[in-house]
Amino acid sequence: MSQAVSYSVQDKIGVISVNNPPVNALAQRVREGILKSIQAAQRDDSEAVILACEGRTFIAGADITEFNKPPKEPGLPEVLSALENSSKPVIAAIHGTALGGGFEVALACHYRCAVASAKVGLPEVKLGLLPGAGGTQRLPRIAGVKAALDIITSGNPVPAGKAHDMGLVNEIIEGDLLEGARRYARDLVDSGAPLKRIRDVVIDPDTIEPGFFEQARKRVNARARGQIAPDRIVSCLEAAVSLPIDQALERERELFRELVTSPESAAMRHIFFAERQAAKIKGLPRETSQRDISQAAIIGGGTMGGGIAMCFANAGIPVILLEVSDEALDRGMKIIRKNYGITVKRGKLGEEDVKQRMGLITGTTDYADIAHADIVIEAVFENLELKKEIFAKLDQTCKPGAILATNTSYQDVDAIAAATGRPEDVLGTHFFSPANVMRLLEVVRGEKTADDALATAMRIGKRIGKVCALSGVCYGFIGNRMLTGYGREAQLLLLEGCTPQQVDSTLEQFGMAMGPVAMGDLAGLDVGYKARQSRGTTGDDPRPYAISTRLVESGRHGQKTGAGYYRYDSETRRRIPDPEVEAMIREEAEKFGIARREISAQEIIARCLYPLVNEGAKILEEGIAQRASDVDVVYVFGYAFPVAKGGPMFYADRVGLKRVYEQILEFQRQHGETNWRPANLLKELAESGGSFAEWDRRQA
């Protein structure tokens, strides 16, 4: 019927087969092929029709490259209408994943069967969208409004077994899917099963609790962080209850069209593609060999080391945890068990799963026990001399070809590699805390890191569930280097007139998960204090450190001591503004001769975010990051930059680089050259009317 769809009839059962690798996306040729096939089935001697897919998955979603382009006929609603109005039973046979438009196709069929390993779902919200082909209307009609709300606003897939219990899947198939689907279709025909059109189901408004949609809207908006799609999804579900199906479908399309042209969805689609692009290493031949990783070892069983060990165990990779003493090792293993216990309490793992994963983690205090590890990750505290000492020992202990990685936030990977006789095997792996939760992994390429070691690190990062971004060697790599200006300006804004809650609330309303002042309290003010002491700050501007230094020296280290910039409720950890801190800030401002003033939300955002953009541009100039979109990936996945803003570089493109550059020049006039020297790349792009997105395309 098309290059991507075939149709055949055997024993009076028609089979529409989709073959559009890699994920059978609903491109125009697929839609056309399905439509022509179901139309042909109405004219032949088939008694039922199966819709199945070749390859590794059912239809896994729409072809998002078609978004914001002129529509191509036939549209998906036309295809779904043809399936739904077929005079013969249509059965979706699902394997792999039926997601987004793929699940909407399945919902338009009269019946759905699936293998036990399959998953179904509507993840459009993760792209700033809503299901636009009846998903918000058909799903609540069979799963109920509350379940539909949870599925659509979370975007998370539902396993076939649970989907069967919810009525989303009618039959679980054991063995060969197509053969099982044929048997199921024959049973339906022989029993005279009705054509079950989900659109014909009417939701009784009396089954919806008063105020349900109002409360739902409050809940989704509270966690949306600048996203508008969750609110519109609630509106669609409300329409499913209150409007006739055709009017409700039109309301869904109207809201979908609003979202697909929204800046929020554009930002989220940018991150979707940027995440995949970040995994590709420029200049690395496609045929680069990779090293086998079947055994890992972690040096250091603290919070970070234990979290990294969990990542490997979760991926089914045996891991050895090495500590300096039995006491330290026992403490580390207890932390891991406690973390798994939390996951069990949240219902995300069963006790048997934990037992299996803990069985993959063994402890030792003897370096000889890690001699055969394929990858060793050092995760001790940030002391360069200690790390060099450990790597010299690893050089003598580990087998040839083992990857030696340092988990560091800012140390010199090349200096660490120089402590070994095999710098080609050494690289950085900057995990984010807690390592078993945070998705970002900065893989740091040293000057002499071998291509196969680098390719292996990127692959193993993906295997253990991380979003990987490549960085060169510099202080702080991509993320922490950029963060310096963000934190500096937040502190200076306090001295110039802001309260801690004003800075935090402004950036949280922008979409940050937590403002910079509260984040300092969470991380521990003493951490930065000790880091400054260890590296010395002679010659630095003392103003950005003045308040935090005074807080630490008065015993206020942040949440862990119950007080930092805020006081914290001992039960709820709720932050409480503290007049004592505000008085301290005024005293420090007076000491530096700073006249305090009213500061707008607009200035707070520019002062805190534009240093990210400017430093990001310098990082690109120096080749530390491969792409501007990689910088966005680092900030979205590692620093909770709002995905609906697309990362700092994408955000700057939306604002306009000319406007960003001119504002930085204005801040330079107001606050001096030291902190506000514009990056050459930013200047060049601003003056030429360019963008970071265009720069990425030129560099590809």
Specify if 435 maps to a domain: yes
Q: Does the pLDDT of residue 463 top 70, yes or no?
A: yes
Query: Are 345 and 463 in a shared domain?
Result: yes
pLDDT, tens digit, 9 for 90 and up, residues 542-593: 999 999 999 999 999 999 999 999 999 988 889 999 999 999 999 999 999 9
Q: Among 285, 234, 233, 295, which residue's Cα sits nearest to residue 259?
A: 233
Tokens representing residue 413 in the block: 């990977």
pLDDT of residue 530: 83
Beta bridge partners of 99: 121
C-alpha to C-alpha distances, 190 to 89, 113, 150, 196, nearest whole angstrom = 12, 17, 37, 16
Mean pLDDT for the stretch of residues 135-157: 97
Q: Which domain holds residue 325?
A: 296-471
104 is annotated as an active-site residue = yes
124 is annotated as an active-site residue = yes
pLDDT of residue 537: 54
Query: Are 410 and 370 in a shared domain?
Result: yes
Distance (Å, whole) CA 129 – CA 26: 16
Whole-prediction pTM value? 0.92
* Domain end marker among 561, 591, 621: 591
pLDDT of residue 625: 98
Specify if 423 maps to a domain: yes
pLDDT, tens digit, 9 for 90 and up, residues 110-143: 999 999 999 999 999 999 999 999 999 999 999 9
Mean pLDDT for the stretch of residues 466-493: 96
Of these residues, 32, 47, 84, 124, which one is catalytic?
124
Q: Is 219 exposed, middle or buried (0-12, 13-18, 19+ CB in 10 A)?
A: middle
Phi, psi of 15 (to 5 degrees): -130, 115
Specify if 350 maps to a domain: yes
pLDDT of residue 538: 47
Q: How many other C-beta atoms can be found within 10 angstroms of the C-beta atom of residue 17?
A: 19
* Domain end marker among 537, 564, 591: 591
Tokens representing residue 223 in the block: 């966690």
Task: Read off the CATH number of the domain in which 301 is found.
Answer: 3.40.50.720
Query: Are 623 and 660 in a shared domain?
Result: yes
DSSP SS3 for 502? helix
Specify if 284 maps to a domain: no
pLDDT, tens digit, 9 for 90 and up, residues 50-92: 999 999 999 999 887 787 778 889 999 999 999 999 999 999 9
Q: Is 352 exposed, middle or buried (0-12, 13-18, 19+ CB in 10 A)?
A: exposed
pLDDT, tens digit, 9 for 90 and up, residues 255-301: 999 999 999 999 999 999 999 999 999 999 888 999 999 999 999 99
Q: Does the pLDDT of residue 179 top 50, yes or no?
A: yes
Query: Are 379 and 451 in a shared domain?
Result: yes
Specify if 373 maps to a domain: yes
Query: Are 118 and 147 in a shared domain?
Result: yes
pLDDT, tens digit, 9 for 90 and up, residues 588-643: 999 999 999 999 999 999 999 999 999 999 999 999 999 999 999 999 999 999 99
Q: Does the pLDDT of residue 399 top 80, yes or no?
A: yes
Query: Are 520 and 570 in a shared domain?
Result: yes
Of these residues, 32, 47, 104, 378, which one is catalytic?
104
Amino acid letter, residue 386: L
Give the total number of structural domains in the chain. 4
pLDDT, tens digit, 9 for 90 and up, residues 216-252: 999 999 888 889 999 999 999 999 999 999 999 999 9
- Cα–chain-centroid distance for residue 367? 36
Query: Are 322 and 460 in a shared domain?
Result: yes
Query: Are 306 and 415 in a shared domain?
Result: yes
C-alpha to C-alpha distances, 355 to 259, 361, 542, nearest whole angstrom = 44, 10, 51
Distance (Å, whole) CA 479 – CA 459: 21
Query: Are 203 and 74 in a shared domain?
Result: yes
Specify if 231 maps to a domain: yes
Which letter does DSSP use for residue 3 in this model? Answer: T
Q: Residue 146: pLDDT band by 50, 70, 90 thresholds?
A: very high
